Structure 1
Protein backbone atom coordinates (compact mmCIF):
# COMPACT_ATOMS: atom_id res chain seq x y z
CA UNK A 1 0.00 0.00 0.00
CA UNK A 2 1.36 3.40 -0.99
CA UNK A 3 1.75 5.81 1.91
CA UNK A 4 -0.32 8.96 1.76
CA UNK A 5 1.82 11.98 0.82
CA UNK A 6 2.79 14.07 3.82
CA UNK A 7 1.30 17.25 2.41
CA UNK A 8 -2.10 15.55 2.18
CA UNK A 9 -1.82 14.27 5.73
CA UNK A 10 -0.90 17.75 6.93
CA UNK A 11 -3.75 19.37 5.03
CA UNK A 12 -6.31 16.88 6.37
CA UNK A 13 -5.07 17.30 9.93
CA UNK A 14 -5.04 21.07 9.59
CA UNK A 15 -8.58 21.06 8.25
CA UNK A 16 -9.85 18.87 11.08
CA UNK A 17 -8.07 20.98 13.71
CA UNK A 18 -9.53 24.18 12.27
CA UNK A 19 -13.04 22.71 12.17
CA UNK A 20 -12.67 21.46 15.75
CA UNK A 21 -11.58 24.94 16.85
CA UNK A 22 -14.44 26.60 14.97
CA UNK A 23 -16.93 24.14 16.42
CA UNK A 24 -15.74 24.85 19.97
CA UNK A 25 -15.97 28.59 19.34
CA UNK A 26 -19.53 28.33 18.00
CA UNK A 27 -20.62 26.28 21.01
CA UNK A 28 -18.94 28.72 23.40
CA UNK A 29 -19.84 32.07 21.83
CA UNK A 30 -21.95 31.59 18.68
CA UNK A 31 -21.02 31.80 15.01
CA UNK A 32 -21.22 35.59 15.04
CA UNK A 33 -18.17 35.71 17.30
CA UNK A 34 -16.05 33.32 15.20
CA UNK A 35 -13.18 34.96 13.31
CA UNK A 36 -10.73 33.31 10.92
CA UNK A 37 -7.87 35.01 12.75
CA UNK A 38 -8.95 33.58 16.11
CA UNK A 39 -9.34 30.08 14.66
CA UNK A 40 -5.90 30.36 13.05
CA UNK A 41 -4.35 31.41 16.35
CA UNK A 42 -6.04 28.55 18.16
CA UNK A 43 -4.73 26.05 15.59
CA UNK A 44 -1.26 27.61 15.41
CA UNK A 45 -1.21 28.62 11.74
CA UNK A 46 -1.43 31.88 9.84
CA UNK A 47 -4.69 33.45 8.76
CA UNK A 48 -3.74 33.19 5.05
CA UNK A 49 -3.27 29.44 5.55
CA UNK A 50 -6.90 29.05 6.62
CA UNK A 51 -8.11 31.32 3.84
CA UNK A 52 -6.32 29.07 1.35
CA UNK A 53 -8.01 26.02 2.84
CA UNK A 54 -11.58 27.35 3.22
CA UNK A 55 -11.68 30.35 0.92
CA UNK A 56 -13.55 32.58 3.34
CA UNK A 57 -15.25 32.67 6.72
CA UNK A 58 -18.40 31.54 4.92
CA UNK A 59 -16.47 28.60 3.50
CA UNK A 60 -15.35 27.65 7.00
CA UNK A 61 -18.96 27.69 8.20
CA UNK A 62 -20.10 25.59 5.25
CA UNK A 63 -17.35 23.03 5.87
CA UNK A 64 -18.25 22.91 9.56
CA UNK A 65 -21.91 22.15 8.83
CA UNK A 66 -20.96 19.61 6.14
CA UNK A 67 -18.74 17.71 8.54
CA UNK A 68 -21.45 17.67 11.19
CA UNK A 69 -23.98 16.48 8.62
CA UNK A 70 -21.78 13.53 7.67
CA UNK A 71 -22.27 12.05 11.14
CA UNK A 72 -26.04 12.38 10.86
CA UNK A 73 -26.08 10.85 7.38
CA UNK A 74 -24.01 7.90 8.56
CA UNK A 75 -26.60 7.22 11.26
CA UNK A 76 -29.40 7.49 8.69
CA UNK A 77 -27.69 5.09 6.29
CA UNK A 78 -27.12 2.54 9.06
CA UNK A 79 -30.73 2.68 10.23
CA UNK A 80 -32.14 2.42 6.70
CA UNK A 81 -29.92 -0.55 5.89
CA UNK A 82 -31.15 -2.36 9.01
CA UNK A 83 -34.76 -2.47 7.73
CA UNK A 84 -34.71 -3.72 4.13
CA UNK A 85 -38.12 -3.86 2.51
CA UNK A 86 -39.89 -1.98 5.32
CA UNK A 87 -39.99 1.66 4.28
CA UNK A 88 -42.05 2.92 7.21
CA UNK A 89 -40.02 1.08 9.85
CA UNK A 90 -36.75 2.14 8.25
CA UNK A 91 -37.69 5.81 8.00
CA UNK A 92 -38.93 5.87 11.58
CA UNK A 93 -35.73 4.22 12.85
CA UNK A 94 -33.58 6.60 10.83
CA UNK A 95 -35.40 9.66 12.10
CA UNK A 96 -35.28 8.49 15.70
CA UNK A 97 -31.52 8.12 15.28
CA UNK A 98 -31.32 11.63 13.83
CA UNK A 99 -33.39 13.16 16.64
CA UNK A 100 -31.34 11.38 19.32
CA UNK A 101 -28.13 12.59 17.77
CA UNK A 102 -29.52 16.11 17.42
CA UNK A 103 -30.50 16.21 21.08
CA UNK A 104 -26.93 15.36 22.05
CA UNK A 105 -25.21 17.67 19.54
CA UNK A 106 -23.92 20.90 21.14
CA UNK A 107 -23.16 22.59 17.83
CA UNK A 108 -26.69 22.07 16.54
CA UNK A 109 -28.07 23.22 19.89
CA UNK A 110 -26.02 26.41 19.67
CA UNK A 111 -27.17 27.12 16.11
CA UNK A 112 -30.84 26.47 16.90
CA UNK A 113 -30.77 28.47 20.12
CA UNK A 114 -29.22 31.43 18.32
CA UNK A 115 -31.76 31.20 15.49
CA UNK A 116 -34.71 31.05 17.87
CA UNK A 117 -33.56 34.20 19.63
CA UNK A 118 -32.67 35.92 16.36
CA UNK A 119 -29.23 36.67 17.76
CA UNK A 120 -27.15 34.78 15.22
CA UNK A 121 -28.46 33.00 12.13
CA UNK A 122 -25.20 32.81 10.17
CA UNK A 123 -24.99 29.02 9.98
CA UNK A 124 -28.71 28.39 9.58
CA UNK A 125 -28.86 28.70 5.77
CA UNK A 126 -26.36 25.84 5.43
CA UNK A 127 -28.86 23.66 7.31
CA UNK A 128 -32.04 24.80 5.63
CA UNK A 129 -31.76 26.47 2.23
CA UNK A 130 -28.32 26.06 0.69
CA UNK A 131 -28.21 22.62 -0.93
CA UNK A 132 -24.56 21.59 -0.68
CA UNK A 133 -24.10 21.06 3.05
CA UNK A 134 -27.17 19.09 4.12
CA UNK A 135 -30.14 19.10 1.77
CA UNK A 136 -28.61 17.60 -1.35
CA UNK A 137 -26.47 14.88 0.31
CA UNK A 138 -29.43 13.81 2.46
CA UNK A 139 -31.81 13.82 -0.50
CA UNK A 140 -29.43 11.69 -2.60
CA UNK A 141 -29.01 9.17 0.22
CA UNK A 142 -32.73 8.77 0.89
CA UNK A 143 -33.69 8.78 -2.80
CA UNK A 144 -31.18 6.05 -3.62
CA UNK A 145 -32.43 3.94 -0.72
CA UNK A 146 -36.08 4.43 -1.70
CA UNK A 147 -35.30 3.46 -5.29
CA UNK A 148 -33.79 0.22 -4.04
CA UNK A 149 -36.78 -0.56 -1.85
CA UNK A 150 -39.44 0.43 -4.39
CA UNK A 151 -38.03 -0.46 -7.83
CA UNK A 152 -41.39 0.15 -9.49
CA UNK A 153 -41.43 3.72 -8.22
CA UNK A 154 -40.35 6.20 -10.93
CA UNK A 155 -37.01 7.81 -10.19
CA UNK A 156 -38.55 11.28 -10.20
CA UNK A 157 -41.08 10.22 -7.56
CA UNK A 158 -38.37 8.69 -5.38
CA UNK A 159 -36.47 11.98 -5.63
CA UNK A 160 -39.59 13.98 -4.75
CA UNK A 161 -40.42 11.75 -1.79
CA UNK A 162 -36.86 12.01 -0.50
CA UNK A 163 -36.90 15.79 -0.87
CA UNK A 164 -40.16 16.08 1.06
CA UNK A 165 -38.94 13.79 3.86
CA UNK A 166 -35.62 15.58 4.23
CA UNK A 167 -37.16 19.05 4.29
CA UNK A 168 -39.83 18.04 6.79
CA UNK A 169 -37.21 16.41 9.01
CA UNK A 170 -35.19 19.62 9.05
CA UNK A 171 -38.35 21.59 9.78
CA UNK A 172 -39.12 19.39 12.79
CA UNK A 173 -35.54 19.71 14.03
CA UNK A 174 -35.70 23.49 13.79
CA UNK A 175 -39.21 23.84 15.21
CA UNK A 176 -40.40 20.68 17.01
CA UNK A 177 -44.12 20.03 17.16
CA UNK A 178 -45.20 20.06 20.83
CA UNK A 179 -46.48 16.68 21.90
CA UNK A 180 -46.11 15.12 18.46
CA UNK A 181 -44.17 12.10 17.30
CA UNK A 182 -42.41 13.38 14.19
CA UNK A 183 -40.55 10.15 13.32
CA UNK A 184 -43.75 8.10 13.37
CA UNK A 185 -45.68 10.74 11.39
CA UNK A 186 -42.96 11.02 8.75
CA UNK A 187 -42.73 7.23 8.53
CA UNK A 188 -46.43 7.08 7.71
CA UNK A 189 -45.94 9.80 5.14
CA UNK A 190 -43.07 7.85 3.57
CA UNK A 191 -45.36 4.84 3.20
CA UNK A 192 -48.03 6.94 1.53
CA UNK A 193 -45.54 8.63 -0.80
CA UNK A 194 -44.03 5.34 -1.96
CA UNK A 195 -46.59 2.63 -1.22
CA UNK A 196 -48.30 2.68 -4.60
CA UNK A 197 -45.43 0.81 -6.29
CA UNK A 198 -44.85 -2.91 -6.01
CA UNK A 199 -42.03 -3.91 -3.70
CA UNK A 200 -39.03 -5.90 -4.79
CA UNK A 201 -36.52 -4.46 -2.35
CA UNK A 202 -32.80 -4.74 -2.50
CA UNK A 203 -30.63 -4.66 0.58
Structure 2
Protein backbone atom coordinates (compact mmCIF):
# COMPACT_ATOMS: atom_id res chain seq x y z
CA UNK A 1 0.00 0.00 0.00
CA UNK A 2 1.45 3.40 -0.96
CA UNK A 3 2.43 5.62 1.96
CA UNK A 4 -0.42 8.11 1.48
CA UNK A 5 -3.03 5.32 1.50
CA UNK A 6 -1.43 3.68 4.52
CA UNK A 7 -1.42 6.96 6.47
CA UNK A 8 -5.00 7.68 5.46
CA UNK A 9 -6.08 4.19 6.57
CA UNK A 10 -4.34 4.69 9.94
CA UNK A 11 -6.05 8.03 10.47
CA UNK A 12 -9.48 6.61 9.67
CA UNK A 13 -8.97 3.59 11.89
CA UNK A 14 -7.93 5.88 14.76
CA UNK A 15 -10.85 8.21 14.08
CA UNK A 16 -13.29 5.33 14.12
CA UNK A 17 -12.06 4.16 17.53
CA UNK A 18 -12.18 7.67 18.96
CA UNK A 19 -15.70 8.23 17.69
CA UNK A 20 -16.94 4.87 18.93
CA UNK A 21 -15.67 5.85 22.37
CA UNK A 22 -17.82 8.99 22.35
CA UNK A 23 -15.36 11.42 20.82
CA UNK A 24 -17.82 13.36 18.66
CA UNK A 25 -18.15 16.11 21.26
CA UNK A 26 -14.42 16.25 22.09
CA UNK A 27 -13.00 19.66 21.22
CA UNK A 28 -9.54 18.08 20.90
CA UNK A 29 -10.70 15.18 18.74
CA UNK A 30 -8.31 15.95 15.90
CA UNK A 31 -5.35 15.84 18.28
CA UNK A 32 -6.62 12.61 19.83
CA UNK A 33 -6.94 11.00 16.40
CA UNK A 34 -3.41 12.09 15.47
CA UNK A 35 -2.00 10.72 18.72
CA UNK A 36 -3.84 7.42 18.39
CA UNK A 37 -2.68 7.06 14.78
CA UNK A 38 0.91 7.77 15.84
CA UNK A 39 1.09 10.83 13.63
CA UNK A 40 1.42 14.58 14.02
CA UNK A 41 -1.60 16.84 13.58
CA UNK A 42 -0.07 18.45 10.46
CA UNK A 43 0.33 14.98 8.93
CA UNK A 44 -3.33 14.18 9.59
CA UNK A 45 -4.35 17.48 7.99
CA UNK A 46 -2.09 16.83 5.01
CA UNK A 47 -3.33 13.33 4.23
CA UNK A 48 -6.97 13.47 5.33
CA UNK A 49 -7.92 17.01 6.28
CA UNK A 50 -9.92 18.63 9.05
CA UNK A 51 -12.60 16.92 11.13
CA UNK A 52 -15.27 17.41 8.47
CA UNK A 53 -12.97 15.77 5.92
CA UNK A 54 -12.32 12.87 8.31
CA UNK A 55 -16.06 12.40 8.84
CA UNK A 56 -16.66 12.46 5.08
CA UNK A 57 -13.84 9.98 4.48
CA UNK A 58 -15.24 7.62 7.14
CA UNK A 59 -18.68 7.78 5.56
CA UNK A 60 -17.21 7.04 2.12
CA UNK A 61 -15.11 4.18 3.51
CA UNK A 62 -18.10 2.60 5.22
CA UNK A 63 -20.29 3.13 2.18
CA UNK A 64 -17.70 1.30 0.08
CA UNK A 65 -17.74 -1.64 2.47
CA UNK A 66 -21.53 -1.62 2.47
CA UNK A 67 -21.71 -1.65 -1.34
CA UNK A 68 -19.24 -4.54 -1.51
CA UNK A 69 -21.45 -6.52 0.86
CA UNK A 70 -24.59 -5.52 -1.03
CA UNK A 71 -23.32 -6.62 -4.46
CA UNK A 72 -23.65 -10.42 -3.94
CA UNK A 73 -27.13 -9.90 -2.50
CA UNK A 74 -28.10 -7.88 -5.56
CA UNK A 75 -26.73 -10.65 -7.79
CA UNK A 76 -29.04 -13.33 -6.34
CA UNK A 77 -31.71 -14.70 -8.66
CA UNK A 78 -34.96 -14.68 -6.68
CA UNK A 79 -38.51 -13.69 -7.59
CA UNK A 80 -38.55 -9.89 -7.61
CA UNK A 81 -40.72 -9.31 -4.53
CA UNK A 82 -38.63 -11.74 -2.50
CA UNK A 83 -35.43 -10.19 -3.83
CA UNK A 84 -36.58 -6.69 -2.90
CA UNK A 85 -37.46 -7.76 0.64
CA UNK A 86 -34.10 -9.53 1.03
CA UNK A 87 -32.22 -6.45 -0.13
CA UNK A 88 -34.21 -4.10 2.09
CA UNK A 89 -33.77 -6.33 5.16
CA UNK A 90 -30.02 -6.35 4.57
CA UNK A 91 -29.80 -2.58 4.00
CA UNK A 92 -31.92 -1.56 6.97
CA UNK A 93 -30.44 -4.19 9.29
CA UNK A 94 -26.89 -3.30 8.28
CA UNK A 95 -27.46 0.38 9.07
CA UNK A 96 -29.37 -0.21 12.30
CA UNK A 97 -26.60 -2.49 13.59
CA UNK A 98 -23.62 -0.48 12.32
CA UNK A 99 -21.60 0.57 15.40
CA UNK A 100 -20.13 3.76 13.97
CA UNK A 101 -23.40 4.91 12.43
CA UNK A 102 -25.25 4.26 15.68
CA UNK A 103 -22.57 6.06 17.70
CA UNK A 104 -22.87 9.08 15.42
CA UNK A 105 -26.66 9.07 15.72
CA UNK A 106 -26.33 8.91 19.50
CA UNK A 107 -23.62 11.52 19.93
CA UNK A 108 -23.78 13.88 16.96
CA UNK A 109 -26.90 13.46 14.81
CA UNK A 110 -26.49 17.00 13.51
CA UNK A 111 -23.22 15.96 11.83
CA UNK A 112 -24.49 12.68 10.42
CA UNK A 113 -28.07 13.18 9.31
CA UNK A 114 -27.36 15.61 6.44
CA UNK A 115 -25.41 12.82 4.69
CA UNK A 116 -28.60 10.74 4.65
CA UNK A 117 -31.13 13.52 4.05
CA UNK A 118 -30.15 16.74 2.29
CA UNK A 119 -26.97 15.16 0.86
CA UNK A 120 -28.42 11.68 0.27
CA UNK A 121 -28.15 12.04 -3.50
CA UNK A 122 -24.47 11.09 -3.27
CA UNK A 123 -25.32 7.84 -1.51
CA UNK A 124 -28.23 7.05 -3.84
CA UNK A 125 -26.04 7.54 -6.91
CA UNK A 126 -23.54 5.04 -5.53
CA UNK A 127 -26.28 2.52 -4.77
CA UNK A 128 -27.50 3.03 -8.33
CA UNK A 129 -24.18 1.76 -9.69
CA UNK A 130 -24.72 -1.53 -7.83
CA UNK A 131 -28.46 -1.91 -8.39
CA UNK A 132 -29.14 -0.80 -11.99
CA UNK A 133 -28.15 -4.05 -13.71
CA UNK A 134 -30.34 -6.04 -11.31
CA UNK A 135 -33.38 -3.84 -11.98
CA UNK A 136 -32.80 -4.11 -15.73
CA UNK A 137 -32.58 -7.91 -15.40
CA UNK A 138 -35.99 -8.03 -13.73
CA UNK A 139 -37.43 -5.76 -16.44
CA UNK A 140 -35.97 -7.98 -19.19
CA UNK A 141 -37.35 -11.10 -17.45
CA UNK A 142 -40.82 -9.55 -17.36
CA UNK A 143 -41.04 -9.42 -13.55
CA UNK A 144 -41.11 -5.63 -13.58
CA UNK A 145 -42.84 -3.28 -15.99
CA UNK A 146 -40.61 -1.15 -18.18
CA UNK A 147 -39.80 1.35 -15.44
CA UNK A 148 -36.89 3.74 -15.33
CA UNK A 149 -34.35 1.91 -13.07
CA UNK A 150 -33.08 5.18 -11.62
CA UNK A 151 -36.54 6.18 -10.36
CA UNK A 152 -37.21 2.79 -8.76
CA UNK A 153 -33.78 2.74 -7.09
CA UNK A 154 -34.25 6.30 -5.85
CA UNK A 155 -37.65 5.43 -4.36
CA UNK A 156 -36.38 2.26 -2.66
CA UNK A 157 -33.38 4.14 -1.23
CA UNK A 158 -35.70 6.79 0.21
CA UNK A 159 -37.84 4.09 1.82
CA UNK A 160 -34.75 2.34 3.22
CA UNK A 161 -33.41 5.61 4.65
CA UNK A 162 -36.74 6.30 6.27
CA UNK A 163 -36.76 2.83 7.85
CA UNK A 164 -33.23 3.36 9.15
CA UNK A 165 -33.63 6.84 10.59
CA UNK A 166 -37.23 7.06 11.75
CA UNK A 167 -39.17 5.16 14.37
CA UNK A 168 -42.82 4.30 13.89
CA UNK A 169 -45.48 2.32 15.69
CA UNK A 170 -43.89 -1.00 14.63
CA UNK A 171 -40.59 -2.03 16.24
CA UNK A 172 -38.27 -2.99 13.39
CA UNK A 173 -35.16 -3.70 15.46
CA UNK A 174 -35.69 -7.46 15.13
CA UNK A 175 -34.74 -8.81 11.65
CA UNK A 176 -37.73 -11.17 11.56
CA UNK A 177 -40.10 -8.32 12.43
CA UNK A 178 -38.47 -6.16 9.77
CA UNK A 179 -38.86 -8.91 7.16
CA UNK A 180 -42.51 -9.49 8.05
CA UNK A 181 -43.16 -5.74 7.90
CA UNK A 182 -41.51 -5.38 4.49
CA UNK A 183 -43.12 -8.47 3.04
CA UNK A 184 -46.53 -7.38 4.25
CA UNK A 185 -45.98 -3.86 2.96
CA UNK A 186 -44.48 -4.77 -0.41
CA UNK A 187 -46.38 -7.89 -1.35
CA UNK A 188 -49.23 -9.41 0.71
CA UNK A 189 -49.32 -12.57 -1.44
CA UNK A 190 -45.61 -13.18 -0.86
CA UNK A 191 -46.19 -12.60 2.86
CA UNK A 192 -48.73 -15.43 2.93
CA UNK A 193 -46.46 -17.72 0.92
CA UNK A 194 -43.44 -17.12 3.17
CA UNK A 195 -45.48 -17.65 6.34
CA UNK A 196 -46.63 -21.04 5.03
CA UNK A 197 -43.04 -22.00 4.20
TM-score normalized with structure 1 length:
0.73
Q: Which residue of 2 aligns with 1:65?
A: 59
Residue 40 to residue 182, structure 1, CA distance change in 2 (3 Å): same
How many positions carry a matched residue from both structures?
178
Q: Does 1:177 align with 2:171?
A: no
Asked whether the equivalents of residues 32 and 120 of structure 1 are also in contact (C-alpha less than 8 Å), the reply is no
The match for 2:29 among 23, 35, 55 is: 35
- 1:103 positional shift: 3.9
The match for 1:16 among 6, 9, 13 is: 9
CA distance in 2, matches of 1:190, 1:158: 18
Q: Which residue of 2 aligns with 1:53?
A: 47
Segments of 5+ residues of structure 1 without an aligned counterpart are 1-7, 192-203
CA distance in 2, matches of 1:161, 1:187: 17
Residue 178 to residue 184, structure 1, CA distance change in 2 (3 Å): same
After superposition, residues 162-201 of structure 1 pair within 5 angstroms as: 162-179=153-170, 183=179
CA distance in 2, matches of 1:54, 1:86: 44
Q: Which residue of 1 aligns with 2:152?
A: 161
- 1:163 positional shift: 0.6
Q: Which residue of 1 aligns with 2:130?
A: 141
- 1:65 positional shift: 0.9
TM-score normalized with structure 2 length:
0.75
The match for 1:112 among 105, 130, 137 is: 105
Residue 137 to residue 184, structure 1, CA distance change in 2 (3 Å): farther
